Amino acid sequence: MSLLTRVVLSGALFAIAAAGLPSEADACGGMFCDLSPPSGTPTAVEQTGETIVFVVGGGFVEAHVQIAYDADDDARVLSWIVPVPAVPEIDVGSAQLLENLLLATVPVYGFETEDAVCDEASEDGGDVMFLLAPDGAGGGGGPVVLVEATVGAFDYVVLEGGTSQSVMGWLSSNGYADNDKAPAILDAYLDEGAVFVAFRLTAEAGVDDIHPIVIRYPGHEPCIPLRLTGIAAAPDMSIRALVLGEARAFPVNYRHVQLNRVRLDWEDDASNYTKLVTGAVDEAGGRAFVTEYAGPSSVVGDQGLHGGDALGAVALEQLSATEAIVALREHGILVCTSTCQYNHPLIAGLLARYIPVPRGVTGEAFYACVECYENLVDEEAWDPVAFAADVRERIVQPATHALELLEQWPYLTRLYTTISPHEMLSDPVFAEVPDLPDVPRAHGALRSEDCCGLSMRLPGGRGVRYEDGAWPRWNAAMPWAERVSEYQAEGPPTEILNQTATIDALVAEHNTRVSCDQPPGTTGGEPGATTTTTGGTGGSSGSGTSANSDTTTSDCACSSERSRPTAWAIALLGILVMAARRRR
């Protein structure tokens, strides 16, 4: 297909997801989603921020959280505090699951030129409190320590009761940094009956060992503890919540916004996506989410999970170091040719601990043919029982649980917001709301050029003229949010703000001002409505006729349907002139 296509993925790749996106694009019923840029691999717009994946069912809430860290800090003094409503169960999470969830749902905004598209059928900080331990920290007293244990690469304790001062005293005396803003916020959580879970890396763990944590506690509503986050959060911090369940998740105590996609810079790779979200959230009062995807969880691939799951059938504790490497290669966890590909984010750290590369040998050569260097294997480092236990806890069990979750829960919602510390006055809570429409990840527009210049037909039908060959730069009158709604305990959400008419009027005024004749259509329609074309489905080349257009031609006078009689008159005049000359 020889169309000029540009695609931008606007969203966040997880901190551990350094690998590129798969080359094949997800199909969504039309050509746009089956196309990719000339390189074959869409390019992600990198955004930082925190992501939590929630699973709700059976009277429990599971929160899957990747612990973020600053690469410039010493990971050995990393500590992490989170309030939960009840004493939780703590497990190792699957980094591969989180990566797959994010890659499958990252929003895609793009356009095609001269053909039709399918349409619908991101900051520092974190969502938990991070502290760095001062040097020379020692033991101490404080609140009641309910649990003290190790999970994967982390030691953790569960603290209950006391006052904010005694909790802070315990944290300080046990190696957690103080913060003057913490006591008032801790008091609020204590008054609500919360317990605190404090994590730190074990003494022997390093950066390569950092993995997601699963916090499972009794409850029915997923909640992000933003009040505690506000102590050290950056302005307009990015927060993403993904919810696996039976139906679409919706914010209960925060508002919901639908973006005004006229504000998106379609021509410049949607580079202002985060700014658009921030502006829309601000118009909704500063505490709101946008839905980036809502639909079947079947869009999430299981790549990287089956190998870890199958490894559970291998009796690793009975293997030699050489046999263990062979087993990892056979299950696709380790692939070495000219370079080594570690198909699990934790395997490199485990190999460095239990089967380190000998001096004078490259890792690629050693792991690709460990049989060739069997006499160089460090037998003192090799502990088959400990290696088997770590592999099962950090790779096998998380992969097996991840596959179970994807099989069990049919629906996935991805929500996103940016929020500043002064707005973190309440913790966002989410609930499932049946019968809400799906929200696809792919949003396609159609760019065309005629004698009047460039224009773009946006999802939903709005047509926008370029100005001096560039995408319009809207002034403050143009809204950021199209609609704002609020949750109701019963029934669908209530719409509290609808700016469609304002947007349509401003687009119409702009098009009239810059057009050489008549503007393209400016019907707003429902955001996300499908833009169809004749003969333009399933990847086949269409005629370029939009379902929102009345003719197959452009909107300017020199090439419109109504200009054709003039063209025929000119042709007839030419024939008459030639006939007159012959008579002479």
Asked if residue 513 is part of any domain, the answer here is yes
Q: What is the pLDDT of residue 420?
A: 86
Total-model pTM: 0.75
Of 304-313, 350-359, 437-446, 494-503, give the lowest mean pLDDT range: 304-313
Amino acid at the residue 144: V
Of 221-225, 497-501, 538-542, give the lowest mean pLDDT range: 538-542
Confidence of residue 73 (pLDDT cuts 50, 70, 90): low
Q: What is the pLDDT of residue 296?
A: 96
Average confidence (pLDDT) over 104-111:
88
Mean of per-residue pLDDT scores for the chain: 76
Average confidence (pLDDT) over 377-405:
93
Q: Is there a single domain that holds both residue 397 and residue 447?
A: no
Asked if residue 147 is part of any domain, the answer here is no
Q: What is the pLDDT of residue 171?
A: 78
The length of the chain is: 584
Asked if residue 352 is part of any domain, the answer here is yes
User: How many alpha carbons lie under 13 Å from residue 178 in its C-beta half-sphere?
Assistant: 10
pLDDT for 412 beyond 50? yes
Q: What CA–CA distance (Å, rounded) separates 483 from 497?
A: 5
Average confidence (pLDDT) over 39-59:
62
pLDDT tens digit sequence for 308-357 = 888 888 899 999 999 999 999 888 888 887 778 888 888 888 999 999 99
Q: Are residues 266 and 458 in contact, defined by beta-carbon separation less than 8 angstroms?
A: yes
H or E element, residue 218: strand 213-218
Q: Is there a single domain that holds both residue 449 and residue 559?
A: yes
Q: Is there a single domain that holds both residue 383 and residue 489?
A: no
Q: Is there a single domain that holds both residue 459 and residue 557?
A: yes
Burial 425-454 (b: 16+ CB within 10 A, else e): eebbebbbbeebeebbbbbbbbbbebebbb
Q: Are residues 227 and 188 in contact, defined by beta-carbon separation less than 8 angstroms?
A: yes
Q: Is there a single domain that holds both residue 397 and residue 451?
A: no
pLDDT tens digit sequence for 315-327 = 999 999 999 999 9
Q: Is there a single domain that holds both residue 451 and residue 504?
A: yes
- Please calculate the CA angle 153-156-157 and round it to the nearest 5 degrees: 170
Confidence of residue 581 (pLDDT cuts 50, 70, 90): very low
Most confident of 283-287, 441-445, 513-517: 283-287
E strand intervals along 95-135: 108-113, 129-132
Average confidence (pLDDT) over 262-277:
92
Q: Is there a single domain that holds both residue 393 and residue 449?
A: no
H or E element, residue 226: helix 226-229
Burial 144-182 (b: 16+ CB within 10 A, else e): eeeeeeebbbbbbbbbbebebebbbbbbbebbbbebeeb
The residue among 413 and 95 whose pLDDT is bigger is 413
H or E element, residue 90: strand 89-92
Domain enclosing residue 341, as ranges = 309-401
Asked if residue 202 is part of any domain, the answer here is no
Confidence of residue 78 (pLDDT cuts 50, 70, 90): low
Q: What is the pLDDT of residue 371?
A: 87
Asked if residue 322 is part of any domain, the answer here is yes
Asked if residue 185 is part of any domain, the answer here is no
pLDDT for 75 beyond 60? no
Q: Are residues 214 and 55 in contact, defined by beta-carbon separation less than 8 angstroms?
A: no
Q: Is there a single domain that holds both residue 449 and residue 561?
A: yes
Of 63-72, 203-212, 217-226, give the lowest mean pLDDT range: 63-72
> What tokens does 296 get?
């079947």
Domain count, the chain: 2
What is the three-state SS of 372-398? HHHHHCCCCCCCHHHHHHHHHHHHHHH
Of 250-264, 277-291, 352-366, give the lowest mean pLDDT range: 352-366
Q: What CA–CA distance (Å, rounded) separates 325 from 371?
A: 9
Q: Are residues 58 and 89 in contact, defined by beta-carbon separation less than 8 angstroms?
A: no
Amino acid at the residue 477: A
Instruction: Mark which of 346, 376, 401 sits at the end of a domain.
Output: 401
Q: What are phi and psi of 16, to 5 degrees?
A: -90, -5
pLDDT for 577 beyond 60? no
Average confidence (pLDDT) over 85-114:
88
Nearest to 214 by CA among 199, 226, 233, 204: 199
What is the three-state SS of 186-203? HHHHHHCCCEEEEEEECC
Asked if residue 104 is part of any domain, the answer here is no
Q: Is there a single domain that holds both residue 365 and residue 457?
A: no
Q: What is the pLDDT of residue 450?
A: 83
Asked if residue 489 is part of any domain, the answer here is yes
Q: Is there a single domain that holds both residue 390 and residue 482?
A: no
Distance set, CA 212 to CA 69, 406, 501 (Å): 12, 17, 45
Q: Is there a single domain that holds both residue 315 and residue 371?
A: yes
Average confidence (pLDDT) over 281-304:
94
Of 110-119, 372-381, 441-450, 454-463, give the lowest mean pLDDT range: 110-119
